[in-house]
Amino acid sequence: MNEERYQRQMVLPDFGEAGQERLLTAKVCVVGAGGLGVPVLQYLTAMGVGTIGLVDADVVSLSNLHRQVLYAPEDIGQPKVEVAKRKLEIQNPNVSFQVFNQMLSVENASVILQGFDVVVDCTDAIDVRYAINDACVALGIPFVYGALYRHEGQVSVFNFKGSPTYRDAFPDDTVKVENCNEIGVLGVLPGIIGMYQALETVKILTGFGESLAGKLLVIDAAKMEHHVFHLTKKSIPPSRSKAMKNDIITWQAVRQLDPSKYHFLDVREPIVFQSRHDALFENVPMKNLTEFVPSKPNVVLVCQMGVTTVQAARLLQGRHPNLQIFHVKGGYNAL
C-alpha cells in the first residue's frame, strides 16, 4: 500500500487503514462510462479501489464533452471504455481495470457482473437497470443507483443487507424513461450525482457512515433542495379494482372513476403543470405532499413519466396508511 497516497483518508478515525485495505481488495463494476460513470470512475480510481470493471459500448462524441470531463476532443470516435482505462491507469497505476466494450443486457448481465463486490448503475436505459437489478439479486450483489432528469438527480442503494431492490422502488418495467439525449442535462449535474454514487460505493465497501439503502435521495439542482424518501421491500398493496393492476392505472381507467371518491393529484412542478395538464387533476408538487390532507378514501397520482409517482405514493402511504393510492401508468408521456 502507498500510505502517503491515501494518507488524508486513512487518518479519518472511522475510515483508517482498515478501510483503505478494504478498498484495495475490492472489485467494483461501473456500468456506463458516460456522465455518471466518469466521476464514479475517477473518484473510485483515485481512492484506490483495487479492481474496477468498465462496461459500455459507446464511443466518445462531441456532445459528451460538456459533462464527461474525462474525455477530450482527440478522443472523439474512440470506445469510451478504452479511453477511460488508458487515462485512469495514468491517474492511479495501482488499480486494475477489466474492460467490457459491450452493452449490458439480460443475456450477459450475470456473466459480466459475477465476482464483483458492488455494481454501480451509471446508465440511462431503464431496461439495462432492470437487467442490473435482476442479476444483482440473483448473485447477491448490492448496486448503487443513479439517475438524471433535467435538473433533478436521484441516488439510492439497492439489494444491500436486505434492503429493497430496484423493482421494489420502480415496479413498472414498461415505463419509458427519456435519456439525456432526448431531454438534455446541465453539464455539472452528472458530476454531483456521480460523486454521491462513488461515496455510497465506498460506504458499502468499507462500512464507513450510513448508506442510502432503503432510501431514495432526490436532488433538485435548480433549487438546491434535497429530499429523502424511505423505501420498503413490499410494493404498494394490490388494487381492489379489475380496471387497475398493481396500483398502476391507465388513462382509460382514470376516465371511469367517480370524482367524488378520488383525489386526482398532479405531482409535477407548477411550471410544468401549467404547460399541460388534465382537468381532473389538482397540482400538488412533491415538495407540498407532506401538507396534503385527504378527505376521500382514494388518491390517483400522475407525473410526467410514471416514475416520480412511485415515490409520491410511498410518501403518502407513510403518512396516511389507510389511503388507497394509484398512479397513472406512463404519466403524461403515455397520454
Q: What is the CATH number of the domain that holds 325?
A: 3.40.250.10
- Does residue 50 sit within a domain? yes
Beta bridge partners of 180: none
Evaluate whether 243 touches 228 at the Cβ level (below 8 Å): no
| Residue 225 shares a structural domain with residue 254 | no
Residues 6+ apart with CB under 8 A from 104: 31, 55, 112, 123, 128, 131, 132
Whole-model pTM?
A: 0.71
- Does residue 55 sit within a domain? yes
- Does residue 206 sit within a domain? yes
What does the block give as the cell for 202?
465506498
Mean pLDDT of 280-309: 88
State residue 72's pLDDT score. 95
Query: What domain range includes position 12?
Result: 7-230
CB burial of residue 161 (10 Å; 0-12, 13-18, 19+): exposed
- Residues 49-73: pLDDT tens digits? 999 999 999 999 999 998 989 999 9
pLDDT band (50, 70, 90) for residue 240: very low
- Does residue 238 sit within a domain? no
Mean pLDDT of 15-25: 94
Evaluate whether 151 touches 145 at the Cβ level (below 8 Å): no
CA-CA distance, 257 to 280, in Å (whole number)?
A: 10
- Does residue 262 sit within a domain? yes
Q: Among 28-42, 144-158, 201-215, which stretch is predicted with the lowest mean pLDDT?
A: 144-158
Edge-to-edge strands of the sheet including 298-302?
248-249, 324-328, 298-302, 262-266, 282-283
What does the block give as the cell for 261?
371518491
> Three-state SS for 113?
helix
- Does residue 291 sit within a domain? yes
State residue 307's pLDDT score. 66
275 or 178, higher pLDDT: 275
State residue 37's pLDDT score. 96
Return the H-helix or E-strand segment holding 204.
helix 189-206
Among residues 52, 84, 55, 82, the alpha carbon closest in space to that of 68 is found at: 84
State residue 322's pLDDT score. 85
Evaluate whether 54 touches 100 at the Cβ level (below 8 Å): yes
Give yes or no for residue 173 having a pLDDT over 60.
no
- Does residue 236 sit within a domain? no
pLDDT band (50, 70, 90) for residue 187: confident
CA angle centred on 292, ends 148 and 328, rounded to 5°:
50
Give yes or no for residue 175 having a pLDDT over 70.
no
| Residue 301 shares a structural domain with residue 224 | no
- Residues 251-260: pLDDT tens digits? 988 998 999 9
| Residue 223 shares a structural domain with residue 291 | no
| Residue 151 shares a structural domain with residue 96 | yes
What does the block give as the cell for 219?
436532488
| Residue 257 shares a structural domain with residue 176 | no
| Residue 209 shares a structural domain with residue 278 | no
- Does residue 128 sit within a domain? yes
CATH number at residue 200: 3.40.50.720
Final residue belonging to a domain, choices 203, 230, 257: 230
What does the block give as the cell for 28?
467494483
Give yes or no for residue 129 having a pLDDT over 60.
yes
Tally of structural domains, the chain: 2
Among residues 260, 225, 265, 226, the alpha carbon closest in space to that of 249 is found at: 265
| Residue 155 shares a structural domain with residue 301 | no
